Structure 1
Amino acid sequence: MTAVAFHTPERRERAVTALNEKPDGIVEAIAAKADVTPAEVLAVLPQGAAVTIPAAQFSAIWTDMMSWGEVLMIVQTGDIVLEVPGMLPEGSEGHGWFNIHGDSPIGGHIKKDNCHAISFVDRAFHGRRSCSVWFMNADGNAMFKIFVRRDENKELKADQLSKFETLRDTLSR
C-alpha cells in the first residue's frame, strides 16, 4: 500500500482538526479548509476507511470495475462537480493516454501515467455510507472517482458493494 507523506506535522494536525469538525463532509472542502491535499485528508481517516493501492494496479482495477454494472464517475474541479452514470467501457493505451470508448456515456482519455495511487474509500458522507475508488495524482488530488451506486431506497447496491469490498481486500493483502 502507498502511504501519504506529510510535509510537516502541522499539515497533519490541520487535516485532523478539519476532519473532526465535519467527519462526513466533502473531502475536498475539508482539505481546502485545512490547506492540505485531499490525499492528506484520506490519510487521517479512521483505520480502513481509505485503503490505498499502488497505481501499478490501474488496469486490473479498471478491468474489474467494468463488471460492476452502472457506476457513477465523478470529476471534481474548483469549478464543477461532473457526475456521469454509466458502465465503464474497455480501455486501451495509446499515445500516452488510456482511451475509453464504447456504448456508455463514460468516455474519453485518461493520462494514466499521472495516476500516483488508487484509494478505496469507505466512509460516511452526509450521514450515509459511501464507497468509491479514487484515482489520485502526484499532487494529492483525485483525477476522478468511481462510486458504488445506490438502489431505489438510497442504499448501496449490494452486488457492487460486494465487488468493491472484494477488490479492495484482495489488492490490500
Structure 2
Amino acid sequence: MRERLAAAPNGVLEAVAAESNVSLLTVTECLPDGLRAFASGETAEAAMLDMAEWGTVTVLVHSADLVLECKGPLPRGQFGRGFYNLAGGSPIGGHIRLDRCRTVGFVRRPFMGSADSASVVFFNGDGEAMFKVFVGRDDARQLLPDQVERFEALKARLCGAPGQTA
C-alpha cells in the first residue's frame, strides 16, 4: 500500500481503504511522510478553536453513502451534554462527539484535478474519519495562502517536528 500511495497519492483514500479492507487511518498512515502528520485526539478541541479563526473552510463528511460538503466559517464551540456544540452564525453547525476523536491528522497532498489540498481529519477509535476540515480556496481554486500558513502552524504546534507524531 505504501508503494501504491507513494506513486499515486492523489486518489480517494476512502476508496483505497474499502478496497484494502483497512481503516482510513491505516491508509493515511501509509502516505509518504511529507504528506501527513498526526496528533493525539486530546488536541481536537485546540484544533477546532484554532480553525474557527481561519475564515471560510469546507467541512466534509464522507460515508459509504454520502460525501457531504459545507462551506463557511467554522464556528467556535464548547462542550455541553456530551457534545462539542458549534455556535450559530454559519452554515456549518451541529454537535460533535469530539471526545471520541482518537487522532487528529494533517494531510496535505495532491487530489484528483487539483494541484494541492490540505485537510485536518478527525479520526475516531475505529480509525475512520468523523469529519474533515479543508483549507479554503480562492476563485482560481488555489489554496488560500493565509490558511495554508495557519494549517502548517497548527500542524507544527500539535504534531511537533516534521515526521513526528504527538
Give the TM-score of the pair, scaled to structure 1. Answer: 0.87
Is structure 2 residue 93 aligned with structure 1 residue 116? no
Instruction: Give distance in 1, aligned partners of 2:102 and 2:152.
Output: 21
CA RMSD of aligned residues (A): 1.4
2:93 aligned partner:
107
Residues 89, 103 of structure 1: 8 Å contact kept:
yes
1:36 aligned partner:
22
Is structure 2 residue 111 aligned with structure 1 residue 125? yes
- Among 52, 75, 94, which residue is 2:61 paired with? 75
Is structure 2 residue 142 aligned with structure 1 residue 155? yes
Q: Which has the higher contact order (CA 8 A, sep 6+)?
A: 2
Q: Deviations over 1:104-126 (max 9, x none)?
A: 01111001111111000011111
Q: CA deviation at 1:156?
A: 0.5
Give the TM-score of the pair, scaled to structure 2. Answer: 0.91
- Among 81, 97, 115, which residue is 1:95 paired with? 81
Q: Deviations over 1:10-32 (max 9, x none)?
A: xxxxx336535742101101111
Query: SS where residue 48 of structure 1 aligns?
Result: helix
Instruction: Give distance in 2, aligned partners of 1:23 and 1:64.
Output: 27
Gaps of 5+ in 2: 161-166
- Corresponding residue pairs, total: 159
Residues 74, 90 of structure 2: 8 Å contact kept:
yes
Residues 22, 30 of structure 1: 8 Å contact kept:
no
Percent sequence identity is: 42
User: Any runs of at least 4 consecutive aligned residues in structure 1 with deviations exceeding 6 A, and if so which?
Assistant: none
Instruction: Give distance in 2, aligned partners of 1:96 and 1:150.
Output: 33
Query: SS where residue 146 of structure 1 aligns?
Result: strand
Residues 6, 31 of structure 2: 8 Å contact kept:
no
Instruction: Give distance in 2, aligned partners of 1:134 and 1:73.
Output: 10
Instruction: Give distance in 2, aligned partners of 1:32 and 1:79.
Output: 13
- Structure with greater strand share of residues: 2
